[in-house]
Structure 1
Amino acid sequence: MTDDPPRKRMVKLPTGGQEGGRGKPARLKTAKQRTPSQQAWLERQVNDPFSAKARALGYRSRAAFKITEIDDRFHFLKPGARVVDLGLAPGGWTQIAILRGVTNIVGVDLLPVDPLPPAQILQMDFTDPACGPKLMELLGGAPDVVLSDMAPNTVGHRETDHLRIVGLIEAAIAFALEVLRPGGTFVAKSFQGGGSDQLIAGLKRHFTEVKNVKPKASRQDSSEVFLVATGFKGR
């Protein structure tokens, strides 16, 4: 590998969030402290057009483009809406909500998150029974939108990891059903595979429309999809 100046190995910024307009993929020098999987992940981040555009626009993460595309289709992030963001770190979804006029938004994550005013942020375990009431106290009323980009820490055992994923989605759904105002919207990251049909069937009992959405910013080799449930029927 030639020792080109770093600027020559930079990825050409995409236009409009599309896959075109990319330069030659950059390869990073292998660091002894990185595992092969970490090395591959880092190279993918450097070469990913959405990650590059997120950095150029000052977004917290490439996930900002996912919620942007979803909201462009369903139009739930609007001025005056009350929003809860579950698993908000590093803040890409909350950032887009604020840019779209949302001023009453609360979020929670296990990880620390740099301030995103006017959002109110809790560093807490969402599954802690005390978390939900604290979020509602900060929000000051029933939310119009509950967002969940939560994902559990994986242990490398497929069945166990799948159960953890489904468990978090079910917890997010239970919370949304308890607090959403009638007509509200629920959006959650999910994964294709066993259990998704049951989750969708359950949501359809409580919402007028439920869709499985795969945004362009979601990598094609990922099983990641998003459940979008609109028109909450109320309790």
Structure 2
Amino acid sequence: MSTQLLKALEFIHSAGMCHGDISGRNMAFSCTHLSHASENETFEVLGTPEIEPLVRVDGAPLQNGLPTRLVKAAEWVEWVDEDDEEFRLLDVGESFLQGEEPKVLAQPGTLRVPETIFTDSFNYRVDLWRAGCMIYSFVFTTYPFWYLGEDEGLVFQMIGRVESPPAEWQPKWKSMQMRSSHDLTMAKDCDRSKLERKFAEKCEIQNSPLLPVIQGLMRFLPSARITADKALNVLSRTGTQLGQ
């Protein structure tokens, strides 16, 4: 999955584009095995579709263009074909041409990129930070950060898990610390980041090559992030070393 995500980003960036909305909601498997199943075989696995009519609470007619029924998303908890299936990156609604960045980028709180907190600009490298977050989620089945509405708390987690802010961002970070109602003092006695410790304590050995990839992608300064093709090279090199 990580390799396919990075290959997709490599292609998008080489075409002069930015996806702009890398998240779990915009990823899917092609499910080629399922395409050969009959309708009855599919329902045996997924269950019968749950359908409800769409109605307004005030009883007024639906506007044109709205569906009349809603179908609940199917759950497939025992699906085990991810190693054999092709991966798809979906939804280009936030995509933009490199050099033609929009003024605002819609972002889920847990996946906000740091430059949109500390600066007024961003570029295609937002995809790289978000890819690092997603690869982390592939390994640990959760995003690296939680967000409860305060940028200060989000940045505090970023610093603990990734690295310290660059010098040019330090004044703003100190200001954020002072105005926060929480204690955002960083521990100074730890020689490893929380990311490194979590990989050492929770990660299976076959996933360990992903640590330097995540570290390279999730850098505060966009210019310091490794490109998708370099991330693929790191993954290939560390994976080869692991197999020796």
TM-score by length of 1: 0.23
Would you tell me which structure has more helix in proportion to its own residues? 2
TM-score by length of 2: 0.22
Asked which structure has the greater CA Rg, the reply is 2
Higher relative contact order (CA 8 A, sep 6+): 2
